[in-house]
């Protein structure tokens, strides 16, 4: 295992002028360590770049401290060039547990991918998707007709899941959100909260007539016939939040917005 030098920081930046400029300035102030040797990785950008950095460093044990150089920055801390070592030392660590997607397409090919936010199924054409949903091998819903459906982690619950009127989950909640997108039948079904030990299987009905794509964060598989989703058994990543702007505080703030 690589030994990380105490207080060493690797700055990584999104491909935007403001993020690159911030990374260069901070590296001049605090020094730049290689990714392999860094004790902490500071990610400069928005939420999408934070997710990319978490995926790329999954399993290394290196915590990620994000500073917002993007737009919303829900997963990021406020940007400041001052007292960075002190801020990192005082930060609160949260463990991110990604989902594992196993998708089988119409040609029988199997694709496995990890998702930090959500695994989603979407209709591929003008025809609505038609799905059966099984939880731990037991069929729980027949003939869901919808534009799509997703399984979201607590980290992803404030992203697309929230836009689809799914619930916001505390980061340490042992839960997954199962949320439909524009359900047509059954019209009143609004999803479910599942224990994070659950395995969810989607079976695509009438796949030739109603083709469906599956997406694990940003990895897409076209024309799937079945998709199985569970919490990845071994992969984890650590994200650092300032105590004054903790994940719990962000969750509460988001729920009281109007």
Strand partners, 212: 123
Say what the pTM is.
0.84
* 121/216 Cα distance (integer angstroms): 9
Domains of the chain and any CATH numbers = 5-96+236-255 (3.40.50.10330), 99-231 (2.60.200.30)
47 is catalytic: yes
Out of 15, 47, 132, 136, pick the active-site residue. Answer: 47
Per-residue pLDDT reduced to its tens digit, 23-69: 999 999 999 999 999 999 999 999 889 989 998 999 899 999 999 99
pLDDT at 170: 86
pLDDT band at 1 (very low <50, low <70, confident <90, very high): very low
Per-residue pLDDT reduced to its tens digit, 194-206: 999 999 999 999 9
Closest C-alpha to 161, from 136, 191, 139: 191
CA 132 to chain centre: 24
């Amino acid at each position: 295992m690589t030994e990380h030098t105490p207080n060493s920081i690797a700055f990584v930046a999104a491909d935007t002028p403001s993020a690159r400029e911030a990374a260069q300035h901070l590296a001049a102030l605090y020094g730049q360590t290689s990714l392999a040797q860094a004790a902490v990785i500071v990610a400069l950008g928005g939420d999408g770049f934070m997710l990319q950095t978490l995926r790329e460093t999954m399993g290394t044990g290196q915590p990620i401290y994000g500073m917002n150089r993007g737009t919303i920055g829900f997963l990021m801390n406020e940007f400041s060039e001052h007292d960075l070592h002190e801020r990192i030392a005082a930060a609160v660590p949260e463990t991110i547990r990604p989902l594992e997607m196993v998708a089988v397409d119409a040609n029988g090919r199997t694709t496995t991918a990890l998702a930090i936010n959500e695994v989603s199924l979407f209709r591929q054409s003008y025809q609505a998707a038609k799905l059966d949903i099984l939880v731990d091998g037991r069929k729980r819903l027949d003939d869901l007709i919808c534009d799509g459906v997703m399984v979201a982690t607590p980290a992803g619950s404030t992203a697309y899941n929230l836009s689809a009127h799914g619930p916001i989950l505390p980061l340490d909640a042992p839960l997954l959100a199962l949320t439909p997108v524009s359900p047509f039948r059954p019209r009143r079904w609004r999803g479910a909260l599942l224990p994070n030990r659950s395995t969810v299987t989607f079976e695509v009905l009438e796949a030739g007539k109603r083709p469906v794509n599956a997406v694990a964060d940003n990895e897409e598989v076209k024309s799937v016939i079945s998709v199985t989703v569970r919490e990845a058994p071994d992969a984890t990543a650590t994200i650092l939040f300032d105590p004054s702007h903790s994940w719990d505080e962000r969750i509460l703030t988001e729920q009281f917005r109007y």
